[in-house]
Structure 1
């Protein structure tokens, strides 16, 4: 029989996960209707739609995976673990591509590489989404092989380091570049004695705030993922459920930031509600 502390954390984790499922489900529904109505979505919203869909699946699988492990359904736990690894890797890559897209569209660097990227990024979004599926598939295959041959836990740890830190580094670079871009733009506006409500400055500020929150929540999520792969806290530990709350809190909070910072989502919410 679980202890009272375990039951409390289980209930809080379950309620938080259900709230995240409803939140991401709402975003998927709104963007999906808009996609069907217009026949297409802007490139940035297309990435957001795929991202919130993957997060919806991730939160749902995390609920099943935790309870299946807790009640020791070994065979189903392995199957869910492989599916969770695929969806989690997909989510990490989609977040990385979203930050790259923001940087390419909003930054004001005049280097030929950035100008080329700004010109190509919109048309490259479908390829970026397919590449996310490819890398996620590699991660899933690696998990299947590891489970089949009974490889030690440290194999999965280093597998996770490679599979998860690569998109994290890809995510970090655009944030740093946007900080420099925003700083340079603000300095130029001050030199020209422009007002603080310049549209370009507002766009930089909004994207920078969104990406800053995104980065904090994303780093928190990845670090807790790596700690979980070391299996320092087992599923029967009362603190396991508290740890899971922290693990998925970052994703939940960033989805709120996405909803508030996306003009398309704000517009649809005003129309629907």
Structure 2
């Protein structure tokens, strides 16, 4: 039975998941509508649609697993169910981070302004960079799946053996979890580096424009300052997301602590929930498309009410 505090925190996590699904759903819907209207799918449109869908799937998986684990943990006891959930987690979580990394690199190449030869090469060979990242993702999956199966088998042994072997298994389990998340950590580091470089480029450009305008900001300067704020918020949210994942991994060793598990879940959901709305508010196309879709939904609801009456 959940305590009052656990119930409140679980409700907060569920609310974050619902808001995140709505925000990412709007992003995917706007880009799909633009794709149908223009009869072509741009690279940025594909990345945004895929990122939104992967985050929606990730939030559904996490919130469903959380409710089952807290309300009826016996449903997760069969080994094959745990293996399937582990495979889904590996595929969806790494896909979500991969698309977030691709989005960061896309904006970095399009917006940043560096004269270094590595950056110039990156702009020319951007397709190869995406193919390289895709290869890294596939390799990460190939290495992570066997380790996930081993983790499940080790957990089964862990609960039936002696306390000395439990301690030994826990140390091995930490290494296994670290190994299955190497790909995620790699993409996470690449995303942070790219975002920091993009912030530096935008900050330098805004400073140059301020000096050129004798201290007065023009419209372009405001746009760059806004982009810097968006990127910094994205970095903070991304770090919080991985902090929440680390907390939930720690909860594997203390499964009876539901409060810590739910708290980690709340931190995990902050990123997909807030970042989707930041993308919508910071992008005029997404903002206008979202408003248009919401107005159409509102009009259709009014039409249904009139038909009923």
- How would you bin the TM-score normalised by the shorter chain? 0.7 to 0.9
Bigger Rg, structure 1 or 2: 2
- Which residue does 1:153 correspond to in 2? 173
Q: In structure 2, how many angstroms separate the alpha carbons of the residues matched to 1:132 and 1:216? A: 25
Q: Is the 8 A contact 1:65 1:81 kept in 2?
A: no
Listed one character per residue, the Cα deviations across residues 20-73 of structure 1 (whole Å, up to 9, x for unaligned) are 222222222222222233233332232122111110000011112112323121
- Which residue does 1:86 correspond to in 2? 91
**1:52 lines up with 2:49 in the alignment:** no
- Which residue does 1:109 correspond to in 2? 114
- Which residue does 1:246 correspond to in 2? 267
Q: CA deviation at 1:271?
A: 3.4
Q: Is the 8 A contact 1:30 1:268 kept in 2?
A: yes
TM-score (norm 2): 0.77
- Which residue does 1:211 correspond to in 2? 231
Q: Is the 8 A contact 1:89 1:139 kept in 2?
A: no
Number of residue pairs matched by the alignment: 271
Q: Is the 8 A contact 1:58 1:87 kept in 2?
A: yes
Secondary structure of the equivalent of 2:213? coil
Q: CA deviation at 1:138?
A: 3.2
Secondary structure of the equivalent of 1:209? helix
Alignment of 1:128-147 (within 5 A): 130-131=134-135, 133-135=137-139, 137-138=141-142, 140-147=144-151
Q: Which is further off, 126-135 or 75-84?
A: 126-135
Q: In structure 1, how many angstroms separate the alpha carbons of the residues matched to 2:135 and 2:95? A: 9
Q: In structure 2, how many angstroms separate the alpha carbons of the residues matched to 1:84 and 1:49? A: 19
Q: Is the 8 A contact 1:102 1:207 kept in 2?
A: no
- Which residue does 2:7 correspond to in 1? 7
Q: Which is further off, 80-89 or 135-144?
A: 135-144
Unaligned runs of 5+ in 1: none
Distance 1:59 1:235, change over 3 A: farther
Q: CA deviation at 1:114?
A: 1.9
Distance 1:271 1:10, change over 3 A: closer
Q: CA deviation at 1:18?
A: 2.2
Listed one character per residue, the Cα deviations across residues 115-134 of structure 1 (whole Å, up to 9, x for unaligned) are 3323443x458636744752
Unaligned runs of 5+ in 2: 156-171, 296-309
Distance 1:258 1:135, change over 3 A: farther
Secondary structure of the equivalent of 1:238? helix
TM-score (norm 1): 0.86
Q: In structure 2, how many angstroms separate the alpha carbons of the residues matched to 1:86 and 1:155? A: 19
Q: Is the 8 A contact 1:154 1:230 kept in 2?
A: no
